[in-house]
A and B are shown apart, each in its own frame.
Chain A
Amino acid sequence: MCGIAGIAALSARAQISEPDVDVRRMLLALRHRGPDDSGVYLDPHGRIGLGHTRLSIIDLAGGVQPMPNEDQTVWVSFNGEIFNYIELREVLQKTGHRFSTHSDTEVIVHAYEQYGDDFVQYLNGQFAIALWDAHRQRLLLVRDRVGILPLFYTCQGERLLFASEIKALLPLLAEAPRISPTALDQIFTFWAPRSPNTLFEGIFEVPPGYLMVLENGHLHESMYWDWRFPEQDDYLPGSDAELAERLYELLADATRIRLRADVPIGAYLSGGLDSSALVALIRHHSAAPLKTFSIGFGDKALDESAFQQQLVEHLGVDYRRVFCHNRDIAEDFPATVFHAETAILRTAPTPMRRLSGLVRASGYKVVLTGEGADEALGGYDLFKEAKIRQFWARHPQSEWRPLLLKALYPYLETAGAQAKTYLRNFYGIGLDHPDQPGFSHLTRWFTTAQCKVFFSPELSAALREDAVAQLTGQLPPAFERWHPFNRAQYLEAKTLLGGYLLCSQGDRMLMANSVEGRFPFLDHRVIEFANRLHPRLKMRALNEKFLLKQAMATYLPWQILERHKQPYRAPDIPAFFSAAPPAYVDDLLSAEKLKRYGYFDAKKVSFLLNKARRGHAIAYKDNMALVGILSTQLCHDYFIERFSRTIRELNTRFRGSTQGQP
């Protein structure tokens, strides 16, 4: 994978000054994404500068970017992979296009020539693309369908700046950015800012599934793909067995084309169903030796080593593991936040960065990973909870109500009468309006939003609109015609998947160590197929990912198929407070810094800190609040308080070539 960056003139006749110097400054900040090479293209009329830093994976010798078409009227800078490039190349060659390399990048250039803006519909892959059409003087910025790869932009006077990460925009800003109150409100509700927002005011992302065009001084965007579900019960016909077979074939092909690379490929293995299924698929569709990479925790409640070991033995694959202690997480957390470039409510990205470090240290730069199966095929506990709460709302007197809870939480530690009382209270949220659009997610959003009690009066006063009302007011018109289960899937894809899992916990943690992740479950053919399945094939009663288990039944040990789903988590408060915390924690959570930065109420935070130090902060919301507050303070520290120094540190030397003019 790679990093892209660029500058374009916003108004129709303007020229940009010093594009070469500035694009190079941007690329310096992205060096971790592409350590192998870099390049810049400058438009002869000063309309645009395009930059690229490269991590070489396909066509190691020929894939240098930015890359032009035959007559150098179309230039592309591209981060990602087009997995169907071989098939697409054949089609394009038949229509007369001449290729001068064997890279997937060149396919983009010719596909644009052939299909215009519709070219993106032909791509199967993960991508952030900047394409300059010199003939028509237009810039295209395109992001993949679900948001695997990032692309940010900001308008600065006469210039549009765009880059793979926010940190590449910073060196060109006249002053430090400001943290957006709206973004904090959204993070402390949905776990992430809502696209196109980022943590920072005036800095936006190109939303997943969108194409943005700058032409004649106008910037406009359009959606080219979205999660869609049947509106009139027109689900896919067929028996369970037939549909399971079709799912298997699709997953096998999605995996097969993701094994295309000129370097060896590894796989993440958590020990859960999805990564196990993926490793089994690779094993059955590739003869190459496979190395798997896993995380282990000292906390037995979080550790999945036994399941990892079981699968490794079952499939006979090579296995490496990184072990995460509380102290490692506390010490690595600042760097995690620096790479994530946003406030986060969990430490879970930190072990993911250590894991990509292990991959890199093992001589690998590509891994396949199982993200997306829970969203596409129906795996989350939240989907079960929503199903139970729907049932409760419709059958308020049913004797089954307490039994359903027990089925959902067989491992629940709290016992007896109180557990039932409190859970009934919790899951009762929103029961009076089971048809409201956010119903499935109200429990999570309500719990998370309780962390806002720590907001300072000034921050609270700056908030105008209710985050949940705003989200539910912007859903697609068809939403209300979808099955409640599909509505929950849509909300999950649009909040947590795109806003947190694929970026803060995904791309940014992989790229911090120059490792590319590939996601077969997020192949759009898999998603489109899954979206047409009846919800009972995803959640059969309370059995999650039913059809995936059917599809994989003969390839996996029963212990993996039947284990209760364990969400991936890392220690949060215990990581910092089971021993004396690192100095930065006390410093950033001191009354002085809390007051000066201004986002949180110093006194309230001091009570939370006391609780954490005594080891009494065990509630989810206390853990989310503390990690959220600390990461917000870290963002302010890096990107605002020490803005100049951070830029200076990003600005170290980096070699590369320039194409075009001047």
Chain B
Amino acid sequence: MSIKQTIRRYVLENFLFTDDDSALQDGDSFLAGGIIDSTGVLEIMLFIEETYDIKVEDEEMLPENLDSIDNLVAFVQRKQAVAA
């Protein structure tokens, strides 16, 4: 599975409790949609750290990195590129 598919599936199942792909667009803000709160963002952070073996720094926990499928995918790819 691609990074996007994996992250999509995780967010759908764990925050929207569904496998219906139409429930969320890749650009939808988690924050604006009430999908994720301050504990939810910690769950997402733990998930991408475990899944992609990266470390998310405190100062990186920003909406531009974490607040939509697109932002998350781009963030993971950037981190992987730096690590490689």
**Chain A positions near chain B (C-beta within 8 angstroms):** 414-419, 421-423, 425-426, 446-447, 450, 453-454, 601, 603-605, 607-608, 610-611, 616, 618-621
Contact = CB atoms under 8 A, between A and B. Distances in A.
Given A603-B18, A621-B37, A414 B13 contact: no
Contacts of B66: 418
Given A417-B59, A422-B31, A619 B39 contact: yes
17 contacts: A414-B38, A417-B59, A418-B58, A418-B66, A419-B38, A421-B31, A422-B37, A422-B38, A422-B41, A425-B31, A446-B34, A454-B17, A607-B18, A611-B13, A618-B39, A619-B40, A621-B37
B49 interface: no
Given A421-B31, A618-B42, A619-B40, A416 B17 contact: no
Interface string B37-64: 1111111001100000000001101110
Question: 8 tightest CB-CB pairs across the interface, nearest first?
Answer: A418-B61, A422-B38, A604-B17, A416-B58, A619-B39, A607-B17, A607-B13, A425-B31
A334 B61 CA distance: 40
Interface string B1-31: 0000000000001101111000000000001
Nearest to B35: A450
Given A425-B31, A616-B14, A616-B43, A417 B38 contact: no
Nearest to B13: A607
B61 A416 contact: yes
A620 B39 contact: yes
A415 B56 CA distance: 12
Nearest to B62: A417
A192 B16 CA distance: 24
Contacts of B59: 416-417
Nearest to A619: B39
Contact of A616 (B19, B37, B46, B62): B46
Contacts, number: 67
Contacts of B58: 415-418
A610 B38 contact: no
Contacts of B43: 616, 618-619
B15 to A, nearest CB: 9
Contacts of A454: 17
B38 to A, nearest CB: 4
Interface residues of B, number: 23
A421 B62 contact: yes
Nearest to A604: B17
A605 B37 CA distance: 19
A414 B17 contact: no
Contacts of B63: 418, 421
B43 to A, nearest CB: 6
Contacts of B34: 446, 450
A453 B61 contact: no
Contacts of A608: 17
B17 A418 contact: no
B13 A610 contact: yes
B71 to A, nearest CB: 13
A633 to B, nearest CB: 17
B19 to A, nearest CB: 8
B18 A426 contact: no
Nearest to A418: B61
A426 B37 CA distance: 7
Contacts of B37: 422, 426, 447, 619-621
Query: Of residues B16, B41, B47, which shows the largest number of chain A Cβ atoms within 10 Å of its Cβ?
Result: B41
A454 B17 CA distance: 8
Contacts of A415: 58
A34 to B, nearest CB: 44
A446 B58 CA distance: 28
Contacts of A616: 14, 43, 46-47
A607 B14 contact: yes
Nearest to A625: B17
Query: Of residues A423, A447, A618, which shows the largest number of chain B Cβ atoms within 10 Å of its Cβ?
Result: A618
B38 A423 contact: yes
A414 B61 CA distance: 10
Given A607-B19, A616-B47, A618-B43, 15 more contacts: A414-B39, A415-B58, A418-B41, A418-B63, A426-B37, A426-B38, A450-B34, A453-B17, A604-B17, A607-B17, A610-B13, A616-B43, A619-B37, A619-B43, A620-B37
A618 B17 CA distance: 15
B28 to A, nearest CB: 15
Contacts of A418: 38, 41, 58, 61-63, 66
Nearest to A623: B39
Given A415-B58, A421-B62, A421-B63, A604 B38 contact: no
Contacts of B46: 616
B8 to A, nearest CB: 14
A610 B42 CA distance: 18
Nearest to B67: A421
Contacts of B31: 421-422, 425
A296 B19 CA distance: 41
A623 B46 CA distance: 18
A604 B39 contact: no
A423 B40 CA distance: 12
Contacts of A426: 37-38
A560 B11 CA distance: 43
A610 B15 CA distance: 12
